[in-house]
Amino acid sequence: MGDRYENTGCRRGEQLAGRRPALSAGVRYTREELDWVEAEWAFHLHGRSAFMSREDFLQLQLWAGEGVPADAIVNAMEAYFTRRAQRAQARSFVALAHLAKDVARAVKLRAALDREAAVPAGLEAWGAVKEPLRSDPRTRALFAEWKRLQAGAPAPDAPGFLDHFDAERTAFSAMVAQAEQRLGAEAEPLREGLRARLAESRLEEGTLVWRRAWDHHWSRVVCESWGIPH
């Protein structure tokens, strides 16, 4: 992540680059995952605080020690900032530690998920999807396959977890691609809006982190456009 500090020319980034706390040995976050979390942080703050503080990275270290996956932290950001946007007077100072309740909720939800009940609940939710996509059998079948894999996911430490995770994400991507295709001309204004948001986050278009941020947020945009539960 030091490369990003050196390339931006941001004074705050230059100051923090040499003081970033080293994450303890054995954590599961890769450099790419750390870049992703930091990019999402800047995305939600509209580029206002493009780099995390030392305290924020210490908080990441604590979550890493607890085995909290990076995507759970990103999803917690979504929940926190959605709630924050609805407040009349949101706090001006925001720290990663403020996400603690949302992160704990995300971890608890994963642990308590009833695998057997998840599939029918997910398929029942398809009824809320907007037409004409709701009546599209191909998209519904892709949604059902994704939910089936999601419900049958093994524990993270179980053999075959990574292969199962890859299959689940592939199924989700196939469903999103089909839903995106059905958007037709309505997709382009949505793409332009997302490009503008990512530009505010000071992400260079086409880079690895930009593509990862794009994939993550574009899938949400497509799902929300149709009302697909995700």
**Structure tokens of 175?**
């469903």
Judge whether 67 and 27 are in contact, CB under 8 Å. no
**Would you give per-residue pLDDT tens digits along the chain (230 residues)?**
433 333 333 333 333 333 333 443 345 688 888 888 888 888 888 755 556 788 998 999 899 988 888 888 988 898 898 888 887 776 777 889 999 999 988 887 766 654 444 445 457 788 889 999 999 988 988 998 898 888 888 887 788 888 888 999 999 999 999 999 999 999 999 999 999 999 998 888 889 999 999 999 999 999 999 999 87
Residue 145: count other Cβ atoms within 10 Å of its Cβ. 17
Instruction: Copy the structure tokens of residue 59.
Output: 């908080």
Q: How far apart are CA 170 and CA 183, in angstroms?
A: 20
Residue ranges of domains in the chain: 2-111, 114-226
Q: At 201, which helix (H) or strand (E)? A: none
What backbone torsions phi and psi does residue 118 show, to the nearest 5 degrees? -70, -35
**pLDDT value at residue 51:** 65
This model's pTM is above 0.75: no
Q: What is the pLDDT of residue 213?
A: 94
